[in-house]
Structure 1
């Protein structure tokens, strides 16, 4: 007997009204467009940007001006599609939250991560993925390989950030790499850099628990910079993942002539003290990485064959009703790496 499926008209979501004011409420779902899909969300990773919005009402230069659903790292199952969407219902997917407008010259050049008019889920005022159901363009969902559990699909997005960062850093076989910051992105960058051929990867942080996890996941050495000096020289590639200007300044001084420094963590609006004369004298490239472009396929492949261990990065789970606790968890317990919200779960 055929059972008709009527897509829901509302979803339960975590809506940020102002700093610290996160409410679980019903939000309307519009009708699907021809090339859109409806995703039943299984898991949503908590990112530093979500934590900033929750704590202060802003993330970098972007400010919360109206109630907005947070979240941009997500996985789920397609449950309904528009008339021309090519992804069939029942497909398990990872969501790519920012895909650009697709028509401007920047997008057409392939660098859609830099689209000047694009939107990103969970970046106010665009509603995000901390919801039971999400409407997304079909090009924004990537089928998960069978080897990737649905929950871990939410971590494909930060893995794509790491893939793009390592590409921008131009890490190559035999390179010596320094990664400053052992948060989720830093530890994922460590694994991706090793996969790209780096023979030495040093990871720095001020948290011993995170440094221990970095060692377990591929770092050849670690340095707690709160307790000891960083005494490195001749480094080929620096990936700055901590978002602290002092770490960038310190890391640059470890680089060999002709090396490359890549800013991965969210940069401050300005950073005084960058040794520009040193960069010029030794032709050290200073580049930046912003989100990613065409990185999801590689991230999915690395996760599927366990070249990158996503499960080792996941340290906590919360139901949607405890989304505020999830947003506080990494700061409350620095041993946390990545926590996820499970919109389909019920509170314990």
Structure 2
């Protein structure tokens, strides 16, 4: 049997390779992948051969947003049985023996690995393949009512859930989300799930703005600086990862408000209106990946309280990965693009 995978070899060199049958360790199960969500980091490896400081030095199976079904249980008896549908938590927290970090926050472990990442050598191979061997601690059985296509959003939804949580309790508060790509839309959904009184979302493009409005948010053109400055939001989630987005996030926050920095800015120095942040006594807090929120996200997806309807705009056969990646790179025409590995 072939085991076809989506593999980045270098910038602009994305291939469908046969990587052979997975050989699991005793604590690993083999999962038949159903769906894989295309993330911004996957696009960076495809376009640039690097995602930030993570540079391709060997072929890398991409993918960390995954759902599938266990087809071979772990030999040590841990984890789900054959036939169990699962979502995948892609983090392996690990310290480096030198750098201190709060152990109750596994997303901050300094030497962690993440599926589909070139941060370390050898690279941490991802899950964009027909079958993958994964540690059973990564596998979360799906509750009744949660289908595999929706479950592929568990990982990016957990990123958004963590970001909203970084602001504390948002119930009854006005929340602004700067940038309405897939993560931004999920942040809108999470803020509403958590009881925000009002959510305002910005974006440059009509499609993401319309998807934000479908969630129940008010949408603004990201270029409307006057309207953004008049928001006086209690909480602002900066999801664009751009310098203009950072400026808008600070402008949108009320005095004494909180700005959560979710979108990853470029390495090194960036320009920001810090004088405004100082005189308004804003709280600026980072948000990186997620930790224990994954189980809550899976349950919220299952019971329907987290509204993600319409965020997946394209489902593309994995064999057409290059087309799927090009579609995902056009944020004016797509939101979350998902690869289908089971022929659906």
Length-normalised TM-score, structure 1? 0.91
Residues 251-283 of structure 1: per-residue CA shift (max 9 Å, x gap): 212222221111111221135332333333333
Runs of 4+ in 1 over 4 A off after TM superposition: 102-108
CA RMSD of aligned residues (A): 2.0
5+ residue gaps, structure 1, are 1-7
Map of 1:328 onto structure 2: 326
Q: Which residue does the alignment assign to 2:4?
A: 12
Aligned to 2:117: 123
The separation in 1 between residues aligned to 2:150 and 2:242, in whole angstroms, is: 28
Q: 1:298 to 1:103 in 2, by over 3 A?
A: farther
Q: Give the corresponding residue for 1:39.
A: 31
Distance 1:217 1:33, change over 3 A: same
- Hey, what's the Cα distance between the residues in 1 that align with 2:96 and 2:136? 16
- 1:90 paired with 2:97, answer no
Tell me the equivalent position of 2:254.
256
- SS of 2:133's partner is strand
Contact 1:171/1:237 (8 A) holds in 2: no
TM-score (norm 2): 0.92
SS at match of 1:15: strand
Contact 2:96 2:111 (8 Å CA) reproduced: no
Structure 1 residue 28: deviation in Å?
3.3
Report the 3-state secondary structure (helix = DSSP H, G, I; strand = E; otherwise coil) of the residue aligned with 2:16. strand
Q: In 1, are the aligned partners of 2:10 and 2:59 still within 8 Å (CA)?
A: yes
Contact 1:163 1:298 in 2 (8 A): no
Listed as ranges, the gaps of 5+ residues in structure 2 are none
* Superposed counterparts of 1:15-26, under 5 Å: 15-26=7-18
How many Å separate the matches in 1 of 2:196 and 2:152?
26
Q: What CA distance in whole angstroms lies between the structure 2 residues aligned with 1:34 and 1:309? A: 37
Alpha-carbon distance in structure 1 between the residues aligned to 2:25 and 2:323 = 34
Give deviations 1:158-208, integer Å, cap 9, x for gaps: 111111111012242111111000111111100110111211111000101
Q: Which residue of 1 aligns with 2:61?
A: 69
**Match in the other structure for 1:99:** 92
- 1:261 aligned counterpart, secondary structure: strand
- Provide the aligned length of Structure 1 versus Structure 2: 337
What is the CA–CA distance in structure 2 between the aligned matches of 1:288 and 1:228, rounded to whole Å? 23
Over 3 Å counting, the alpha-carbon distance change for 1:73 and 1:246 in structure 2 is: same
Mark the CA change 1:144 to 1:103 in structure 2 (over 3 Å): closer, same or farther.
farther
Aligned residues of 1:177 and 1:202 also touching (Cα < 8 A): yes
Residue 111 of structure 1, aligned match among 105, 108, 115:
105
C-alpha spacing 1:260/1:227, structure 2 compared with 1 (3 Å): closer
Describe how 1:1-348 pairs up with structure 2 within 5 A. Answer: 11-80=3-72, 81-101=74-94, 109-124=103-118, 125-219=123-217, 221-226=218-223, 229=226, 230-332=228-330, 334-345=332-343
Q: Equivalents in 1 of 2:296, 2:211: separation in Å? A: 23
For 2:76 and 2:312, the matched residues in 1 are separated by: 36
Contact 1:101 1:107 in 2 (8 A): no
Matched-pair contact (CA < 8 Å) for 2:206–2:332: no
